[in-house]
Structure 1
């Protein structure tokens, strides 16, 4: 009877654990195996080819560009989404009469489909689109750009759209964290002569660490796994200027290079794991120490 009581909690999680193993662990293990093969659509026999696929990844200019773009997208969006998220959360945590309406407005882009966002932004970002015309109308014609067709800035344009879409979601998490901080701390800081900035640095940020931890992990993993934003807005173009790992994986599978595509997917999994696990460990320790 004692044994059955101890195992009761495990019985409850067993169905979810089986589903997780079946649809995540098993495909990951199988994919890891196939990433070391020459698995292709035009070959009947699958042969082990060692590190050939990974050597191709690190010697092919297009694949290296995709890796670079993925890192750029992850870094820019992690910073942008979290900075704007905190700023919006702090601003809308004040006693504004329209704060609930503003919260809804800033949060609403995060529930939109990327397809809808693409339909809205693509005409606006053309050379003769609304954004360039707006710059010209206020005397800032030098800022006009070919936002989605200039190889030098296209990935940054996609980053900006992603930040616009998701910053409201990060804002909601930061708002929940801010509302859990007792007001007594701020009152005591005010009595001690601390201004708004010192209160923010020494009270808000330390007590907001759990929310920061969650948002950093969500935005980092989402940034490294980017696919839909690039695929819908640019298709990896112009040329290959905005290719990311996700679009390269899809292209490899579409061309029948399944072994190479699986190797790219395995590499992405390893990179996400190597970055996110130490970061999570560091943030958890920081959160406990605070």
Structure 2
């Protein structure tokens, strides 16, 4: 009887575990197998080719550029989304008459389709677009750039659009964390003579660590898996300047190089796992110690 009661909770987990295994674990294992084969559209038989696909990834300049762009995009968006998200959350946690309306305004881009955002931003980011004209109108014409056609800055432009879209979502998570912090901490700090900055560093940030952990992981994984923003804004161009791992996977499958595409996808999965799990464990330890 005791054994059956002990196993009861596991019975409730089995359906979800079965679905997860069927639609995630099993495809991952199959994909891992195919990444070591010469699987192509024009072939009817599979042959095991060892590390050939992975050697191709690290010897092809376009694939290396895609890996570099993915890392740049992830780093820039993690920093940008979280810094702006915290700043907005702190500002809109104050007693402002318009704070509810402002929260809705800043959060609303995160529910928009990336297709809608591309329709809005593509004309704005042209060389003769709204942003450059605005710079010229205020006497800052030297800041005008070919935002989507300059290979040196195009990945940063796409990252900026992504930050604009989802920083409000991070703000909402930080707001929930801020509202769970007791005001007594700040009252005690004020009595002790601490200013706003010291209160933020010594009270807000440590108590906001759970929300920071969540947002950093969400933005990091989302940044490494970037695809939609690049696909709709530049398609990987100009040339291959804004190619990322996601667009390389699409191109590989489109060209019929299914084994290579699967290998790139496997590499992305391994990279996300290697980076995210140790980072999560480190941040959780910091959360506990704080």
TM-score (norm 1): 0.99
Question: What is the alpha-carbon distance in structure 1 between the residues aligned to residue 63 and residue 225 of structure 2?
Answer: 15
Name the structure 2 match of 1:11. 11
Post-superposition offset of 1:5? 1.2
Q: Which secondary structure state, in structure 2, belongs to the residue aligned with residue 67 of structure 1?
A: helix
Question: What is the alpha-carbon distance in structure 1 between the residues aligned to residue 95 and residue 284 of structure 2?
Answer: 32
Alignment of 1:265-276 (within 5 A): 265-276=265-276
Question: What is the alpha-carbon distance in structure 2 between the residues aligned to residue 195 and residue 147 of structure 1?
Answer: 41
Question: What is the alpha-carbon distance in structure 2 between the residues aligned to residue 140 and residue 191 of structure 1?
Answer: 46
Q: Does residue 1:158 correspond to 2:143, yes or no?
A: no
1:208-252 residue CA offsets vs partner (Å, 9 max, x unmatched): 000000000000000000000000110000100000000000100
Post-superposition offset of 1:180? 0.3
1:134-187 residue CA offsets vs partner (Å, 9 max, x unmatched): 111111111111111111110000000000000000000000000000000000
Alignment of 1:48-63 (within 5 A): 48-63=48-63
Question: What is the alpha-carbon distance in structure 2 between the residues aligned to residue 253 and residue 279 of structure 1?
Answer: 31
Q: Does residue 1:143 correspond to 2:128, yes or no?
A: no
Post-superposition offset of 1:15? 1.0
TM-score (norm 2): 0.99
Question: What is the alpha-carbon distance in structure 2 between the residues aligned to residue 164 and residue 16 of structure 1?
Answer: 35
Name the structure 1 match of 2:117. 117
Q: Which secondary structure state, in structure 2, belongs to the residue aligned with residue 117 of structure 1?
A: helix
Question: What is the alpha-carbon distance in structure 2 between the residues aligned to residue 230 and residue 7 of structure 1?
Answer: 47
Post-superposition offset of 1:264? 0.3
Post-superposition offset of 1:2? 1.9
CA-atom RMSD in angstroms: 0.5
Name the structure 1 match of 2:132. 132
Name the structure 1 match of 2:195. 195
1:14-61 residue CA offsets vs partner (Å, 9 max, x unmatched): 111111000000000000011011000011110000000000000000
Post-superposition offset of 1:278? 0.3
Post-superposition offset of 1:13? 1.5
Question: What is the alpha-carbon distance in structure 2 between the residues aligned to residue 10 and residue 127 of structure 1?
Answer: 60
Unaligned runs of 5+ in 2: none
Unaligned runs of 5+ in 1: none
Post-superposition offset of 1:281? 0.2
